[in-house]
Homo-oligomer: A and B are copies of this chain.
Amino acid sequence: VSNNRRVILAERPRYIVPTANCFRIENGPVPELTAGNLLVRTTWLSMDASLYARVQRVSNQAEPIKLKEVMVGPAVGFVEQSQHPDFKAGDLVSGFWGWQDYAISNGTRLRKLDFGVQKPSYALSAYGASAFGAYIALTTLAPPVAGETVVVGTALGGLGHIAGQIAKLKGCRVVGIAGSAEKCQLAVEKLGFDACVNHSDEDFAKNLMQACPKGVDVFVDTTGGKALDAVIPLLNLNSRIAACGLMATPHFGEAAFKGKYQSTMSFMYELINRRISVRGLVVFDHLRSSLAQFHTEMKAWIDSGKVKPMEDIVNGLQNAPSAFQDVFESRNRGKRLVKVAD
């Protein structure tokens, strides 16, 4: 490739879901290496739902990008040329340089993947932000003990499918929530969930109750909305909620913020009565304290077969916009990645 394709933000989403038509592909020259910097070639991109904040007009989660700028996001690639003292050509690196074939980097936020990652793509799936979030949820925010029941909000999601497997290896009963019978089957057969309940079924709440005969001790909440409403009545004394995302939001646009669900009033009531703890996840907060430990533990779990990352790969940078939209419409099966080059 002597052309640098760049996926730029052409327009902002009307509501929250960044649809594929918000992006445009531009072609241009491969950037010239400048003194002290390095040139990286992208091989993999991670399609993270949390990136929605980057394309909003304003966000209090992250700095939004400007119109016509390259879409940012976690990437993996190889150092192609380097004038940077810490990196040499051929180094496998991850960073946040975004959706383009090539980028110049001064090394900031660039991480060498030298901790024994089994496959380059695993840097974004098994060791990426979503998986790290699952780890923090179940070790720091809402740790379960063996024998407890853990409900995972999006069983086939980038965070959820790892959370379920971590809860399993900790000796818990793991019940997933997903949006189709096919996904539920995958969660049980491929990921080892004890049960998985389809939230599209009319009897969702009743089915969830039956899948949790001893109630719910830990809820890894990635959606809010209907799933949270169904879990709240099942929560046991001293149960814990890790609030990891609100994927139910985009489907309802602004309406989701206008009282469609449980009111805080009844939520606070249950929270007091049942001594429920609720802690939110922002992965950045935990990098310093827990990332190295996470790498070590995850590597051992993968090597021993206890965790099987499920990757959902779309080929081609040009398909990144629709691959990204899919995540908001729950079309991914495991961690959604885009393969840009070998």
Contacts and interface: CB of A to CB of B under 8 A. Distances in A.
Interface of A: 60-61, 221, 224-225, 228-229, 243-246, 248-249, 256-269, 271-282, 285
Contacts of A60: 273-274
How many identical chains are in the complex? 2
Give 5 closest A-B pairs by Cβ, nearest first.
Answer: A272-B280, A262-B264, A261-B263, A259-B263, A257-B266
A271 B243 contact: yes
Contacts of A229: 264
Contacts of A261: 259, 263-265
A119 B275 CA distance: 33
A278 B278 contact: yes
B280 A268 contact: yes
Contact of A279 (B259, B277, B285): B277
A275 B60 CA distance: 12
A273 B280 contact: yes
A217 B285 CA distance: 18
A224 B282 contact: no
Given A228-B268, A260-B265, A271-B280, 5 more contacts: A246-B272, A249-B269, A256-B266, A259-B262, A278-B278
Contact of A272 (B256, B269, B273, B281): B281
Name, among A229, A260, A280, the residue most crowded by chain B CB atoms within 10 Å (CB to CB): A280
A266 B2 CA distance: 47
10 contacts: A221-B268, A224-B268, A224-B269, A246-B268, A263-B263, A263-B264, A264-B267, A274-B280, A275-B285, A277-B277
A280 B267 CA distance: 11
B280 A275 contact: yes
A32 to B, nearest CB: 39
A261 B243 CA distance: 20
Given A271-B243, A277-B279, A263 B260 contact: yes
A248 B265 contact: yes
